Chains A and B, each alone.
Chain A
Amino acid sequence: MEKKTLVTRSMVALILISIAMVVSPAVNSLPGGIGGDSIQTAGCNCHGGADAGVTPSITGLPSEYNASEVYTITISMTGGPAESGVNAGGFNLWSSDGEFFPQDATVESRAPSEVTHTEAGNDYRTWSVEWVAPSHGRDVDFILHTNAVNGDGTQSDADDWNRLDLSVAGSLGPGLESADPFKVLGTLIIISIVMLAATLLYGFYRTSPETFDWEHLAPYVVEWLTSTDHKKIGTLYFVASLFFLGLGGIMAMLIRIQLATPGNDFISQDQYNQFFTLHGTVMIFLAAMPLINGFANWIVPLQIGAPDLALPRLNALSFWLQPFAAILIFTGVFTSQGADTGWTGYAPYVVSGGAHHGVTMWVAGQIMLVASSTLTGINFLTTIAVMRADGMGWMQMPLFTWSVLVANLCLFLSIPAFGVGLIQVYLDRTISTAFYDIAAGGDPLLWSHLFWYFGHPEVYVVIIPAFGVISEVIATSARRSIFGYRSMIYAMAGIAVVSFIVYGHHMFTSGMSPTLRFVTMLTTMLVAVPTGIKIFNWLKTMHGGSLVYRTHTLWALGFLVTFTLGGISGMFFPAVAMDVHLHETYFVIAHFHYVLVGGTLFGFFSAIYYWYPKMTGRMMDERLGTLHFLTAFISYNGIFWPMHRLGVVGMARRQHTYFISTDDFTALPEWAADWNMFISVCAFLFFFSNFFLVANLVLTLARGEKAPADPWGGWSFEWMTSSPPPTPSFDWHNRPVLKDANEHIANEPSRFGAWFNRLMVPEDEEEVSH
């Protein structure tokens, strides 16, 4: 075959595939129908076209309402096809505020401020409903849709509908226009991007004010976009993670405003569902993991005396997959069709027609993140296995490097299951395969197994590197060797191994086999043993030490408090009899935020204050740092500690509202509403407390005191290089050699170390030439 023909055919195939990829999701995304939010924009388009012959009307509404007064409204219409006695018509009435109460079985509420006809009400063209006016005295808008049907039982063109808009004045006038939360989110994203760009430009300007022009800026930007240097990629990960941490935080604030009072309508259920889904996805995959990868990129090569990672281009690819994955994950949000499945994306809902169209792109984005994480895992395992400096056996590696090794092994063994599940969901949603289609014999529990086989080890993937940070910080701050270096490593390895046999505790109420539930109850409890070893070893490290209080020390001590609390609350879930009550409650929310925020985030806040001088050559401001710690630590506990109690008394997660006990039914006690308000206030304090960190990062980058090579008195190789380190970080031909204060055992690899060395590095390839 001629080369030209081959190229032509390839081009045609590529174009067809591209068209198919563009069209495939689009054919599913046409809005329409009468249900949900769309009626306000699309109207009753299942009942023929709008017809001026049908005239909706409302009586009983005043021209100006009195605050909190009850009005009885009559909804009716004239015109349209003749009534047949059955299926005469229907209506939908929406108000911008106030609350409707149906008076009989012909009317039902869709939401506090929206009513429609029931099946019985379909036989009438007049309905009554009570409306309780709001207390704020601002103007209220009403939108009424009525449809007149001919009673033939079909939604034919002979049926007609029309719309009526009216406004009832309040004593205080129109008030402020409420913004669409998606527009608020979009605006905040744009502001964040602009602020980030301005900060980066300022950083460039400060580097060299005299060369602040496009000719110098363009190559500077290109250098950042194309660099394969581990330090630059680490910085990119770091900046991206802080950006998404802020974005996830904004979504958390929207969630907390909604939950501040029961029955709040700040955001709709639909918007709330998207925000908590994206909050979870963003915080785990786009904030926590990049934050860890940022420090792993920066510090691991420096700690093992390597000039760079083993596969620098692969490293750049790993990073650059992430921004594009993020765009895919957020695609749906820009059309109000963001993923609404929860970060767990349980089947069969995730493949059902009820889930938003944005779920498809959300899944596609996560598939890209799986690829990114896999490539990152390959890179770090290879680097740590083959590029350690002379004198650094496995049992002489710094504990942060050990933690990254264990976390990546854990990730490497778990993430393929998640990838397989995501691809199955993607195929189900795009080309109608039937992995999770119940009618075709699909199994929804398969997704739960695949997800949690990855999901539980993933928790350890993000917490184990924080263990590494805390080990470094506590030992250096106490001016001591870490207590029980070997048992620290065995404990990390033990946690990683056990993490693969505990995931069933997420499925105690799933209908899974009781035998499997019992086995995972036992294994889950076992995790407490290696975790306890680590906590006691950190405490013993401080014994007889000389603790120097710096901001990173405060965060490490704070970590010990919050992570211990998270570990203790985690012990309640393996007991199945308690879990069947606590599962999917705010007790769970409290527990995993104590682990993931109080553990991972606090650990990496400590890492920021500890390694920032090394990364930038500037010392951070200790006063701002202390202020950051105090405000964040107090407000953080104010958010999550009360959630334990709320969960126990029955507050369910993933619900945009909650019910307070009435005379008729027992639900949450009245004080639950007060605590929710308190939590929301603390959430805002916590959110804004982190601006002390942002200010500290930016101000000290510009004006911070110059940092020496080893400001804290650490022992590992990163403190041997200048601050910031040169590129390459170490000379390929003059790498450092690790000495060992324990001369009698220096350079004697353990049995495990010798075996792992043989496994990873064939003898004839031990020499790495460059």
Chain B
Amino acid sequence: MGFITPIFDALWSEFVLWSALVGGITFGWLYHHSFFYRSEEGVDNNVDNLQVGVFPVHYDNLKLEVTWTLVPFILIVYLAFISWAPLDNVWTSADSDGDYGEECTTQTSSNLVWDEGEGKYTAECYHVIELVGFQWDWDFDCFDLAADICEETMVTIEGNDKKNINLKQGEVYLVEMYSQDVTHSPWFVSMGNKEDIQPSQTTNLWLPVDEVENFLMLCAEYCGDNHAYMIAGVSVHA
């Protein structure tokens, strides 16, 4: 398993690398100047002859200022470019042009594959399931899918009876979601994926399931009194 999900693992690593580089340069520079240019005890070396009521002499350097405008700009363009790639996978269309093909017939497998070269998941088809949120619980609906591919059950989590959905490794699910009351946000933590649900609209979320694991699904958008216990189980089997 990657850091969170392979979709943005490479992105995360690259952002951390550039952050360390920018932070290293900035803090190295700050550390050096803080000590190297400190004043001697009791000496007031008024370098630019600052005087009350006199606007100080300009201290600038156009080349330097343009440099540290353009270099970060180029870095930003690069980071924006690499951030673009996973979006295709996150927002891929639900038809034959998309990464996950069209909806599977009931018993067909998605055959999910992680394409290391492209940095994205692909599959032959996907399954549609429904998720409904309400204060402070969830309801899953697997429609007519075989129990091996999707099944709703109940589990006990910290003494509370909660909904659980059983999913199958190697399958892709398109979750159609809406809320019955206020804004919620199902967060499939181990899959690094969430999307808000509103009472007035249906939102969608792709779940490419490739790890066998039982984990909690939390509500990430504050929804009132029992928000912290608006949880469900997600069980992925081989």
CA distance A625 to B202 in the complex (A): 55
Pick the residue among B23, B57, B198, B213 that contacts A481 (CB under 8 A): B57
Verify B60–A484 contact, CB threshold 8 A: yes
Query: CB distance A580 to B192 under 8 Å?
Result: yes
Q: Count chain A residues whose beta carbon lies closer than 8 angstroms to a beta carbon of B.
A: 120
Closest Cβ of chain A to B5, distance in Å, is 7
- 15 A-B pairs with C-beta separation under 8 A: A102-B161, A273-B224, A438-B200, A511-B203, A525-B83, A540-B64, A560-B26, A580-B195, A581-B8, A648-B4, A652-B220, A655-B227, A656-B228, A720-B53, A740-B54
Asked if A102 and B215 sit within 8 Å, CB to CB, the answer is no
Which residues of B (198-238) have their CB < 8 Å from a CB of A? Answer: 198-201, 203, 213-216, 218-229, 231, 233
* Complex contact A269–B228 (CB within 8 A): yes
Closest B-chain residue to A541, C-beta based?
B59
Interface presence of B65 (CB below 8 A): yes
Contacts of B220 in A (CB 8 A): 509, 583-585, 652
Residues of chain A in range 736-753 having any CB-CB distance to chain B below 8 Å: 736-742, 746
Cβ B39 vs Cβ A480 within 8 A: no
B143, chain A: closest CB distance, angstroms: 22
- A576 CA to B40 CA in the complex, in Å? 50
Closest 5 CB pairs of A and B: A577-B86, A581-B192, A546-B45, A575-B83, A481-B56
Known: A525-B80, A529-B72, A665-B233. A511 touches B201 (CB 8 A): yes
A715-B90 in contact (CB<8A): no
Contact A571 B200 (CB under 8 A): no
What residues of chain B lie closer than 8 Å to A481, measured between beta carbons? 48, 50, 56-59
1/0 per residue A712-740: CB within 8 Å of B? Answer: 01111101100000000000000011111
Do A396 and B52 have beta carbons less than 8 Å apart? no
CB neighbors of A among B51-107 (8 A) = 51-61, 64-65, 68-69, 72-73, 76, 79-80, 83-84, 86-87, 89-91
Interface contact B194-A742, CB-CB below 8 Å: no
Which of B30-38, B109-117, B144-152, B168-176 contacts the other chain?
A: B30-38
When the two chains form their complex, are residues B72 and A532 in contact, meaning their CB atoms are under 8 A apart? yes
The smallest C-beta distance from A544 to any residue of chain B, in angstroms, reads 7
A residues less than 8 Å from B30 (CB atoms) = 539, 557, 560-561
Instruction: Report Cα–Cα, A597/B108, bound state, in Å.
Output: 54
A341 adjacent to chain B (CB < 8 Å): yes
Chain A residues, Cβ within 8 Å of B33: 539, 542-543, 545, 547
Q: Contacts A109-B160, A575-B83 known; A741 to B56 CB distance under 8 Å?
A: yes
Q: Contact at B182–A581, with CB atoms within 8 Å? A: no
> B194 is contacted by which of A102, A391, A581 (Cβ under 8 Å)?
A581
Given contacts A479-B46, A529-B69, A545-B47, whether A263 and B158 have CB atoms under 8 Å apart is: yes
Question: Complex Cα distance A342/B90, Å?
Answer: 28
Which residues of A does B touch, CB under 8 Å? 36, 99-102, 105, 108-109, 112, 118, 263, 269-270, 273, 340-342, 346-349, 352, 354-355, 391-392, 396, 438, 442-445, 475-476, 478-487, 509-511, 514, 518, 521-522, 525-526, 528-529, 532-533, 535-537, 539-549, 557, 560-561, 564-565, 568-569, 571-572, 574-578, 580-581, 583-585, 648, 650, 652, 654-659, 664-667, 709-710, 713-717, 719-720, 736-742, 746
Judged by a CB distance under 8 angstroms, whether B190 is at the interface is yes
Kindly list 10 other residue pairs between chains A and B, CB separation below 8 angstroms, not including A355-B224, A545-B33, A664-B155.
Answer: A352-B181, A444-B198, A476-B50, A479-B46, A514-B87, A571-B15, A577-B87, A581-B192, A659-B158, A664-B214
CB atoms of B224 and A349 under 8 A apart: yes
Shortest CB–CB separation between residue B117 and chain A, in angstroms?
18
- Measured in the bound complex, the distance between the Cα atoms of B189 and A656 in whole Å is 18
From residue B127, how far is it (CB to closest CB) to chain A in Å?
Answer: 21
Tell me the complex Cα distance, A186–B184, Å: 32
User: In whole angstroms, what is the CA distance A337 to B223 when docked?
Assistant: 16
In the complex formed, the residue of A with least CB distance to B177 is: A511
Task: Check if B19 sits within 8 Å of A568, measured CB to CB.
Answer: yes
Is B167 in the interface zone, CB < 8 Å from A?
no
Asked if residues B181 and A478 are in contact (CB atoms below 8 Å), the reply is no
Q: Which residues of A contact B22 (CB under 8 A)?
A: 568
Q: Of A108, A509, A535, which contacts B196 at CB under 8 A?
A: A509
- Which residue in chain A gives the minimum CB-CB distance to B185? A509
Contact B83 A484 (CB under 8 A): no
Distance in Å: Cβ of B178 to nearest Cβ of chain A: 10
* Cβ B52 vs Cβ A719 within 8 A: yes
**Contacting pair A518 B72 (CB below 8 A):** no
What residues of chain B lie closer than 8 Å to A543, measured between beta carbons? 33, 37
Is B39 a contact of A717 with CB atoms below 8 Å? no
A444 touches B194 (CB 8 A): no
In angstroms, Cα B203 to Cα A444, docked, is 14
Question: Smallest distance from the beta carbon of B238 to chain A beta carbons, Å?
Answer: 16
Cβ of B132 < 8 Å from any Cβ of A?
no
Question: Within the complex, which residue of B39, B64, B69, B87 is in contact with A479, where a contact is CB–CB below 8 Å?
Answer: B39
A478 touches B47 (CB 8 A): yes
CB distance from A621 to the nearest CB of B (A): 19
Contact B194 A580 (CB under 8 A): yes
Residues of B within 8 A of A709 (CB): 52
The answer to whether A713 touches B23 (Cβ under 8 A) is: no
Closest A residue by C-beta to B184 = A349
Q: Complex formed: what's the CA distance from A737 to B216 in Å? A: 67
Query: Are B160's CB and A483's CB within 8 A?
Result: no
Q: Chain B's nearest CB lies how many Å from the CB of A495?
A: 13
Please tell me if the beta carbons of A487 and B221 are within 8 angstroms of each other in the complex.
Answer: no
Best-surrounded residue of A341, A481, A544, A720 (most CB of chain B within 10 A): A481
Measured CB to CB, the closest approach of chain A to B236, in angstroms, equals: 10
By a CB distance below 8 angstroms, the chain B residues around A737 are 53
Whether A478 contacts B37 by the Cβ 8 Å rule is yes
B135 interfacial contact with A, CB 8 Å: yes
The distance from the CB of B233 to the nearest CB of chain A, in whole angstroms, is: 6
Question: Within 8 Å CB of A561, what residues of B?
Answer: 27, 30
